[in-house]
Amino acid sequence: MKTFLSKHADTIAAAIIVCGISLAILAFNLLSSGVSFTALTTAGVSYPSATVEQVVAENLDMEKGTGRYMGSQTLSVRITSGESSGEVVEAQNSLSPTHSIVGAPGERVILKADTGSDGSMYYTVFNYDRIPAVAALVVVFALSMVIVGGTKGVRSLVGLLFVAYALGVFLVPGLYRGFPAVPMGFITAAAITVVSMVLLNGLSEKTFVAIASTVAGLLAAAAVYAVFAGIMQVNGFNQDGADELIVVKQATDLDIFGTLFVSVLIASLGAVMDMCMSVATSLFEIRDQHPDISARQLMASGFTIGRDMIGTMCQTLILAFVGSSLTSLLLLISYGVQLNQLLSSDLVAVEIIHSFVGAIAVVLCVPVTSLICAGLRRRS
């Protein structure tokens, strides 16, 4: 028994920490006051899955240049989910360049089922049923993680599940219920950091260094955000969807000001953790291979290693944010927007805050991690 416990101490400790934090999050969710407000009522509307059995009628034309179909279809479909599962009904399908959902026998679709004032049901095609494809993609991703990563891959998957749990059960409901955004963001980031680091590397000095440097990097990012968000006059009200969030705030006390900071924090967390763990792992390996290395030399090594990493890591962050807003940037340019107008727009200002605050946090992780490792070396 003692041999088993000593051999699997890291796994047991990781399981205890993950379970403990998960239970704390669940308790918060259960004990905090609920909010029943919804911005858009869905009474009498449902979205069942269905399979097209027959095209009853259609009037379609292909748009030149895009290859997209326009027109209308009347489809006979068999509902495969919900209370009406098994029923065969007719559904109307209106096609446009942005909604070119072509119904064909055997095609899986999602219907929008509206209940009329007389109780009758009216069905229209909402979209393709992408759930099987999404599930298959997730399975392929999980298998690749396990096959290539082995035990580490399995632990990484558990860490990803915890990230989804923390965001879906703690952060998003907490923000929705009106809890302060900044503390909620920091608590979520700290919990994700601790669980991810312990799962991947166990309880060790290296893990504690990576956790400490990640938290320090996030604090530095918060300071940079506070300064430049104030200078640039940017906050949650400048984000896409702010008008809708104002409606939500009237009923839920949502902290719209802080939502931008939380999005910056969560978006940069993965890159910050990666940088801190990579530098810490390298420095601990150098220390183990060269027991006589001084604290000054170890810190210099950390800077050398970090310089080789910050370029690609910062590019990763910036390119990710640019890619996510590429369509909006194309539209702005097509409207003939001038450079000073473009750089001062809410869209670009928010993306600049997103990109550069995260990149600065990644850069600052190098000296912070190197300094902590050097300090530990000096003490030993």
Please say if the pLDDT value at position 4 is more than 50.
no
The pLDDT of residue 136 is 95
* One domain, residues 302 and 192: yes
Q: What CATH number has the domain bearing residue 324?
A: 1.20.1640
The pLDDT of residue 149 is 86
* One domain, residues 18 and 52: no
Question: What is the per-residue pLDDT across 366-378, written as a single tens digit (0 to 9) for each?
Answer: 889 988 888 887 7
Question: What is the per-residue pLDDT across 89-118, written as a single tens digit (0 to 9) for each?
Answer: 888 888 888 888 888 899 999 998 888 777
* One domain, residues 342 and 231: yes
Q: What CATH number has the domain bearing residue 88?
A: 2.40.50
* One domain, residues 221 and 296: yes
* One domain, residues 23 and 63: no
Please say if the pLDDT value at position 86 is more than 80.
yes
Confidence of residue 31 (pLDDT cuts 50, 70, 90): low
What is the count of structural domains for the chain? 3
Kindly state the percentage of the chain with pLDDT values over 70.
92
Greater confidence (26 vs 75) lies with: 75
Residue showing tokens 């550069």:
356
* One domain, residues 196 and 60: no
Q: Is residue 40 domain-resident?
A: no
Question: What is the per-residue pLDDT across 35-80, written as a single tens digit (0 to 9) for each?
Answer: 555 655 566 788 899 999 998 888 888 877 777 888 888 899 999 9
Greater confidence (263 vs 249) lies with: 263
* One domain, residues 94 and 202: no
* One domain, residues 216 and 355: yes
Please say if the pLDDT value at position 27 is more than 60.
yes
Q: Is residue 169 domain-resident?
A: no
* One domain, residues 223 and 352: yes
* One domain, residues 235 and 361: yes
pTM of the model: 0.80
Lowest mean pLDDT among 10-19, 101-110, 161-170, 239-248: 10-19
Residue showing tokens 């259609």:
58
Q: Is residue 222 domain-resident?
A: yes
* One domain, residues 52 and 90: yes
When the pLDDT of each residue in the chain is averaged and rounded to a whole number, the result is 82
The pLDDT of residue 137 is 95
Question: What is the per-residue pLDDT across 123-166, written as a single tens digit (0 to 9) for each?
Answer: 889 999 999 999 999 999 999 999 998 888 888 898 888 888 88
Q: Is residue 290 domain-resident?
A: yes
Q: Is residue 148 domain-resident?
A: no
Please say if the pLDDT value at position 171 is more than 70.
yes
Q: Is residue 12 domain-resident?
A: yes
Q: Is residue 78 domain-resident?
A: yes
Contact 156, 149 (CB under 8 A): yes
The pLDDT of residue 33 is 61
Domain extent for 9: 2-31
* One domain, residues 192 and 97: no
Q: Is residue 39 domain-resident?
A: no
